[in-house]
Amino acid sequence: MVEFKSANDLRLRGGKYFMAGISIDCVIFGFHDGQLKLLLSTVANVGDWALPAGFIYKDEHIDDSAKRILKERTGLEDIFLQQFYVFGDPNRCDNNITKNAFEKLQITPPNNNWLLGRFLTVGYYALVDFAAVNPSPDYFSDQYAWHDIHQLPNMAMDHGAIVQQALLTLRIHLRYQPVGYSLLPEKFTMPELQKLYETILDQKLDRRNFQRKMIGYGILKRLKQRREGVAHKAPYLYSFDLRKYHKALKEGFQTSW
Amino acid sequence: MVEFKSANDLRLRGGKYFMAGISIDCVIFGFHDGQLKLLLSTVANVGDWALPAGFIYKDEHIDDSAKRILKERTGLEDIFLQQFYVFGDPNRCDNNITKNAFEKLQITPPNNNWLLGRFLTVGYYALVDFAAVNPSPDYFSDQYAWHDIHQLPNMAMDHGAIVQQALLTLRIHLRYQPVGYSLLPEKFTMPELQKLYETILDQKLDRRNFQRKMIGYGILKRLKQRREGVAHKAPYLYSFDLRKYHKALKEGFQTSW
């Protein structure tokens, strides 16, 4: 791991340590109070809103790069993080962040600067507990903020399209695998889980079908405890059986036909 | 597009035209006679079985690269082709095809040869009508052959693991979107479609649930024709409504909850 003094230090010296031509963009979703949020940062020296991003050390596994970037940016470890797509339009870098930063700072980089060529980017999406994340500016970002998914600002390069693809993928994944564990507190009720799903899918779901499907995955534990302080019949609390969950993630979930 | 005289010509001169550090591997599935097959080729000058692979021209969209490679290798166009994963283990290139080829041919490449560094590879899987594909050796391959998915030979580098990941992804995709159109003839019966699914999933499915799910996608057309020459009740023929199919592929399939 290499320490960089500033975003520009990385822009000028990073080519020695990172693979050229390929980056990682993290689409970090958080859930709070019935709303789906997205974590964005503003790029140092440029100011545009952008996805927290980073690069792959020359000897680093790409999945480790994604985990490291997420940790460097949010402080979070062991959360749900999934590769979902490679964005490979050659025009996506025409108006790139590095070029704009050099221009703003009136720096003339060497012609062969590693960041000025074409970059593909690999998208990873992460699901985090909104309340657990409070990122503070780092050398690459002036500020961080959570944005409502329905009110996103303009973003640098193709980051807006990357977010839409992540959201589409997340909605598809939700249909065949439970993804809620890192968005909810450890114990939750079935209505709370359903609310999470409805928020992500942006649609109402049938209560009985939903419950049958979730139970059918075989990875929820019903606890003896019930939720207290609820007006009507107190609902049961559930938690994820993480051992079974991770096994199923690896081997595929058995859904009914 | 650049013409290369041989695999070695590409190995020595390709760095001028292609992005370094990233390749594309195609996992080409075919269906025939109740069997799922995989198309492999042997690499020129090396002889190992490997996935048909290629590189990304410096100004080419990655999805266009995949289509082009598939066309160059199999002659096929307009088939189901889906990006599914980026393989990014730094050790995957330790025993790489190019190095082995240079050694066998006793060629000493320049130190900075573009193919001897680390490569990530993007996996695309393709579903093709087995009967429509008859690839002949090209400058990069000594031979092509279809292999039964249950009897695969040893493959170069991490290609064996790439195939397993493609198969897992295909099985997952099958659970929420119909993928059969390019594996079946234009008109087919529901039992034929079910047989295809059972072959890919390697499991028996309930006839009524299967039919309900397929009809539920809203992208099958039931034809007036029935299959003739069948002993019992002649089953209806179906075909895919490709306009609706491509719309749903883009926007996500509505499945029931």
What distance in Å separates residue B112's CA from the closest CA in chain A? 15
pLDDT at A219: 86
Shortest CA distance from A250: residue in chain B:
B168
Shortest CA distance from A57: residue in chain B:
B90
Q: Which of A22, A175, A257 sits opposite B206 (nearest CB)?
A: A257
Task: Decide if A83 touches B, using CB distance below 8 A.
Answer: yes
Chain B neighbors of A58, CB-CB under 8 A: 90, 118
| Average pLDDT of the segment spanning B52-68 | 96
The pLDDT, as a whole number, for residue B257 is 46
- A200 and B CB contact within 8 Å: no
In this complex, do A62 and B120 lie within 8 Å of one another by their Cβ atoms? yes
pLDDT at B41: 94
Give the pLDDT score at A257: 46
Beta carbons of A20 and B21 less than 8 Å apart: yes
Percentage of chain A lying above the pLDDT 70 cut? 93
List the single residue in B63, B90, B205 with the smallest CB-CB distance to A59.
Answer: B90
Tell me if chain B has a CB within 8 Å of the CB of A182.
no
Q: What is the mean pLDDT of residues B15-41?
A: 93
Taking the CA of residue A93 and the nearest CA in chain B, the distance in Å comes to: 11
Q: Mean pLDDT over residues B96-123, rounded? A: 92
Set of chain B residues whose Cβ sits within 8 Å of the Cβ of A92: none
SS3 A124: strand
Structure confidence at residue B180 (pLDDT): 67
User: Of B86, B116, B174, B253, which to mutate for an interface test with A (greatest number of A Cβ within 10 Å)?
Assistant: B86
More confident residue, B18 or B240: B18
pLDDT over threshold 70, residue B220? yes
| Of A69-78, B80-89, B233-242, highest mean pLDDT | B80-89
Report the alpha-carbon angle A167-A144-A164, nearest 5. 15
Residues of A in contact with B21 (CB under 8 A): 19-22
> Buried (b) or exposed (e) across B105-116, using 16+ Cβ within 10 A?
eeeebeeebbbb
In this prediction, residue A160 carries a pLDDT of: 96
Out of A152-166, B122-136, B158-172, least confident range? B122-136
Residue B88's SS3 state is: coil
User: What confidence category does residue B138 fall into, taking pLDDT thresholds of 50, 70 and 90?
Assistant: confident
Please tell me the predicted confidence (pLDDT) of residue A218. 84
User: Do residues B79 and B182 touch, judged by C-beta distance below 8 A?
Assistant: yes
Among A170-179, B87-96, B154-163, B232-241, the range of highest mean pLDDT: B154-163
Q: Where are the domains of chain A?
A: 7-176, 185-251
**Chain A CB within 8 Å of residue B78 CB:** no
- Reported confidence tier of residue A158, pLDDT bands at 50, 70, 90: very high
Q: What is the pTM of this model?
A: 0.88
Nearest CA in chain A to B24: A86
Q: How confident is the model at residue A44 (pLDDT cuts 50, 70, 90)?
A: confident
The pLDDT of residue B183 is 79
Q: Measured between CB atoms, which of B56, B120, B257 is closest to A205?
A: B257
What mean pLDDT is predicted for residues A183-194? 87
Which of A19, A59, A85, A94 to probe the B interface (max B CBs under 10 A)?
Answer: A19
* Per-residue model confidence (pLDDT) at position B222: 92
- Band of residue B253 on the pLDDT scale cut at 50, 70, 90: low
In percent, how much of chain B has pLDDT > 70?
Answer: 93
Per-residue tokens: A135:
């990122």
Lowest mean pLDDT among A127-131, B86-90, B197-201: A127-131
pLDDT band at B153 (very low <50, low <70, confident <90, very high): very high
Q: What is the mean pLDDT of residues B224-228?
A: 83
* φ/ψ bin of A239: left (φ > 0), alpha (ψ from -120 to 50), beta (otherwise): beta
Range scoring the smallest mean pLDDT among A41-45, A232-236, B229-233? B229-233
Helix, strand, coil proportions of chain A in percent (round to 5)?
35, 30, 35
H-assigned helices in chain B:
7-13, 62-74, 97-104, 159-176, 190-201, 207-216, 242-251
- Topology of the domain covering A185-251: Arc Repressor Mutant, subunit A (1.10.10)
pLDDT at residue A253 tops 70: no
Minimal CA–CA distance to B13: which of B22, B23, B4?
A: B4
pLDDT recorded at residue B89: 96
CA angle, A235 then A240 then A245, to 5°: 150
Region A187-215: mean pLDDT is 89
Higher pLDDT, A77 or A59: A59
Taking residues A225-250, what's their average pLDDT? 79
Percent of chain B with pLDDT over 90: 48
> What number of helices (H) and strands (E) belong to chain A?
7, 10
CATH placement of domain A7-176: 3.90.79.10
Percentage of chain A modeled with pLDDT above 90: 48
